[in-house]
Amino acid sequence: MLDRQKPELLNELNNGSKKNRFTLAKFIRQLIVLTRRSLNIQAMDLVTLGLLAALYPFTALLQLLISSSDVLIGNPGIVADPIAAAKTLAESYAPLIDTRVFVFITGLEAVLIGMYVPSNELILERSVYLRERMVNLKIVPYLLSKVVVFSFFAVIQCVLYLIVLSIGVDFPEQGLYFPAPIEMFITVLIAMIASIAIGLFVSSLAKSPEMSMYMLVMLLFFQFFFAGIIFDLRDKPAEPLSYLTTTRWSMIALGVSVDLESVAESTILCNTMEDDPRTPEIGDEFTNCTHYPEAREDLLLPYDDENLLISWGVMSAMGLLFLIFTGISIKRLETCKPNPQPDSSRTTSSSDLKNWVNKRF
């Protein structure tokens, strides 16, 4: 009796394995289930969820406290005709530094928040991941579910950020292809999603939340020092490292959208002389103001029109590349670490059933 049952059971398991091939429908179903589970986990702590959604908008409030309303557009009257404006000014007008710092901070905040938020996600779920991989969990839908959830919150954060910023800062009306606020939204969203992929990669490498934090600090320094804005890296040996930072490309994209070149070219420099050459006998002080378009040489990064799409493409490619690295990293966990001990919650796989049948019969 038992001898007759053994081949029947093995045949049933083999047929079941064929039926359980991973199809597109199962991929989508698994992605939906995993995404819903991640959302439910996030929704269990509403306070933390609220803080997550408020991170980027909060930085907008801080920027409003230290910036003028025309920080992104400059003085419209001067930008429109700096040569004529130079004849009426009594002091220098150099908006580039403030505008450049403001734009850089906008991109830097998106990058740092994107890296930080998922930095512990895979660490906390490592044992669950390894256990579910023994059943039928696939790496691609697992990682995509994380990206979908965090990208959803990234969209909310970027929208709220621009809304808060619009309270006290005037946006340029038109960007290169779309209205400037829409282009800025696209840029910060892509930068944040690419950084989410970097954060997931850090989470896949780190063995503990503490190690993850240290790695993030090192990445923070790298993104800050090699962005090409704080230090002039042009024609320097370290310049190639700048191309590896998300902050460089977010800065270029934002600079194109707000037309940073026009802001730089509106610079006016004034010199005060002790004697007015027109009335030397009076001895009055005289202020001479001249248009200084050469200030565009201080831009440090290229803001040509074609660089907008290039920057979007590079940041998107970075995000995809780091997701691939993350998949490879968590795949290695299955061989580098011993499988977790089976428990009552584990679902028995087909191979386990086959082994049981061989031993039992």
* 276 in a structural domain: yes
For residue 319, is it within any domain? yes
Residue 25, domain member (yes or no): yes
Which tops the pLDDT comparison, 89 or 174? 174
Residue 121 covered by a domain: yes
Residue 26, pLDDT > 80, answer: yes
pLDDT of residue 197: 95
Query: Which pLDDT belongs to residue 348?
Result: 42
Bridge partners (DSSP) listed for residue 288: 271
- Report which residue type is found at 261: E
The reported pLDDT for the residue numbered 309 is 96
Q: Is residue 2 a part of any domain in this protein? A: no
Q: How far separated are the first and last CA of the chain, in Å rounded? A: 10
Q: Is residue 304 part of a domain?
A: yes
Does residue 310 lie in a domain region?
yes
Which token pair is 49?
Answer: 């969820």
Instruction: Please give the tally of structural domains in the chain.
Output: 1
Region 221-225: mean pLDDT is 93
pLDDT for residue 339 is more than 80? no
Report the pLDDT averaged over residues 174-183. Answer: 93
In this predicted structure, the answer to whether residue 356 has a pLDDT above a threshold of 50 is: no
Asked if the structure places residue 216 within a domain, the reply is yes
Q: 148 is in which domain, residue-wise?
A: 10-360
pLDDT at 145 over 50: yes
User: Cβ of 181: how many Cβ atoms within 10 Å?
Assistant: 17
* pLDDT of 13 higher than 60: no
